[in-house]
Amino acid sequence: MIPVKVREIAYDINMNPVLLLIDEHELKALPIWIGPVEAHAIALALQGFNLDNPQTTDLLKDILDRLESRLSMVVINDVIDGTYYAELHIWHHGQELVIDSRPSDAIAMAIRTEAPIYLTEKVAQDSMAIKDLLSEEQQEDLKQMLENNHPGDIKKSLH
Residue 136's pLDDT band, with cuts at 50, 70 and 90, is: low
Q: How much is the pLDDT for 152?
A: 44
The CA radius of gyration of the chain, in Å to the nearest whole number, is 15
For residues 26 and 129, the model is more confident at 26
Give the type of residue at 22: I
The CA distance from 106 to 118, in Å, is: 11
Q: How much is the pLDDT for 118?
A: 97
The CA distance from 72 to 115, in Å, is: 6
Nearby residues of 102 by Cβ (< 8 Å), 6 or more positions away: 38, 85, 86
- Tens of pLDDT, residue by residue over 21-72, are 998 888 888 889 999 988 988 888 888 777 777 778 888 888 999 999 999 9
Q: How much is the pLDDT for 66?
A: 93
